């Protein structure tokens, strides 16, 4: 399911839940609105689970495991246990709306460089269409160049997705990706935003600190944070304080640890987690904006060099026959 669809789905669920609609009735209303196929599968799966006596989180995990991730199941579980489902649905609606906006911004920034690359491939071959050489038709070169270009684009995209999935389980891959210029900052901010978002929901559900860390660590979709959360959880069970146990893992920034320690002392840890969720979401969007500004510029350098090379090639294709004739 696309981020845009998930954002609208959870927004509608939040509105109905806030209006004290029973969840069964809410699901029936949304199914009756003729949603997209994936939304319908999600809603019918949840409804089927509730009718079988399953909890909300359990019905989503068992019947919609392909459509949901760790963040969704963790937030919905925390909302169910705290009796504040609307808060969890609103969290998810805002998160997926932000992710959808970030994806749109990134795609928009790549349109112009892609157009330039395609023009650089096509335009220099125009003279060859006017006077094609035997056994060297330009159409073949264009097709080969376009195939190579899109293989590189699709291959690079697939490699990034594979590495991102590996980073959920492998701390070394996660650390390596976090060092990638521009995109590393985006990943770090989103991971902490997911961590604090789920932590806030778990604290509202009055879960223990150790359980909160384990659930939030899994939902962060970062092996570094998950490993640190599990280590901190064990330290809490051994008697350490929340902020102190997190500080010893070395996975969180000093500013974050200090603010959490202060909130722990004042008894406002849930409010601080909510504040960090908003702040990290904003920082993630700012990092995406920086990446969308600078990565195309870096790409322009390579594209311009390629275009210059192709222009020279085109000029040679135009004037070479004339030079041969004069000779």
User: N- to C-terminal Cα distance for the chain?
Assistant: 65
Count how many Cα atoms sit within 13 Å of the Cα of residue 97 in the half-sphere of its side chain: 13
224 contacts: CB under 8 Å, gap ≥ 6:
171, 174, 175, 178, 191, 251
- Given a cut of 90, whether residue 155 has pLDDT beyond it is yes
Residue 253 vs residue 130, higher pLDDT: 253
| pTM of the complete model | 0.76
- Given a cut of 80, whether residue 263 has pLDDT beyond it is yes
Residue range 230-249, pLDDT digits in tens: 999 999 998 888 889 999 88
3-class SS string, the chain: CCHHHHHHHHHHHHHHHHCCCCHHHHHHHHHCCCCCHHHHHHHHHHHHHHHCCCCHHHHHHHHCCCCCCHHHHHHHHHHHHHCCHHHHHHHHHHHHHHHHHHHHHHHHHHHHHHHHHHHHHHHHHHHHHHCCECCECHHHHHHHHHHHHHHHHHHHHHHHHHHHHHCCCCHHHHHHHHCCCCHHHHHHHHHHHHHHHHHHHHHHCCCCHHHHHHHHHHHCCCHHHHHHHHHHHHHHHCCCCHHHHHHHHCCCCHHHHHHHHHHHHHCCHHHHHHHHHHHHHHHHHHHHHHHHHHHHHHHHHHHHHHHHHHHHHHHHHHHHHHHHHHC
CATH number of the structural domain 183-275: 1.20.81.30
Phi, psi dihedral angles at 186 (to 5 degrees):
-60, -45
Q: How confident is the model at residue 259 (pLDDT cuts 50, 70, 90)?
A: very high
Share of the chain above pLDDT 90, in %: 13
pLDDT at residue 127 in the model: 65
- Given a cut of 70, whether residue 287 has pLDDT beyond it is yes
Task: Name the nearest CA neighbour of 192 among 174, 172, 170.
Answer: 174
Portions of the chain given CATH number 1.20.81.30: 183-275
Residue range 113-153, pLDDT digits in tens: 788 778 777 777 776 666 555 566 677 778 888 899 899 88
- Given a cut of 60, whether residue 178 has pLDDT beyond it is yes
């Amino acid at each position: 399911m696309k981020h845009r669809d998930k954002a609208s789905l959870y927004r509608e669920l939040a509105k109905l839940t806030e209006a004290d609609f029973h969840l069964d009735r809410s699901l029936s209303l949304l199914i009756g609105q003729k949603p997209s196929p994936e939304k319908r599968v999600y809603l019918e799966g949840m409804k089927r689970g509730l009718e079988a006596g399953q909890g909300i989180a359990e019905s989503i995990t068992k019947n919609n495991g392909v459509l949901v991730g760790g963040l969704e199941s963790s937030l919905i579980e925390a909302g169910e246990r705290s009796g504040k489902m609307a808060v969890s649905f609103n969290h998810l609606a805002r998160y997926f709306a932000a992710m959808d906006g970030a994806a749109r911004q990134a795609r928009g920034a790549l349109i112009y460089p892609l157009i330039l690359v395609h023009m650089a491939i096509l335009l220099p071959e125009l003279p060859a269409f006017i006077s094609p050489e035997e056994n060297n038709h330009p159409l073949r070169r264009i097709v080969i160049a376009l195939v190579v270009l899109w293989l590189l684009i699709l291959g690079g995209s697939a490699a990034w997705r594979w590495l991102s999935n590996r980073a959920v389980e492998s701390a070394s891959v996660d650390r390596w990706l976090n060092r990638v210029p521009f995109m590393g900052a985006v990943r770090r901010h989103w991971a902490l935003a997911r961590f604090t978002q789920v932590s806030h929901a778990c604290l509202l559900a009055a879960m223990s600190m150790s359980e909160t860390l384990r659930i939030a660590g899994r939902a962060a979709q970062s092996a570094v944070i998950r490993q640190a959360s599990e280590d901190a959880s064990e330290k809490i069970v051994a008697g350490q304080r929340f902020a102190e146990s997190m500080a010893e893992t070395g996975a969180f920034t000093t500013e974050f640890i200090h603010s959490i320690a202060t909130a722990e002392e004042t008894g406002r840890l849930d409010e601080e987690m909510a504040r960090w969720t908003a702040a990290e979401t904003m920082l993630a969007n700012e990092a995406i904006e920086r990446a969308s500004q600078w990565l195309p510029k870096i790409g322009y350098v390579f594209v311009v060099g390629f275009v210059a090379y192709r222009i020279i090639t085109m000029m040679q294709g135009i004037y070479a026959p004339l030079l041969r004739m004069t000779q």
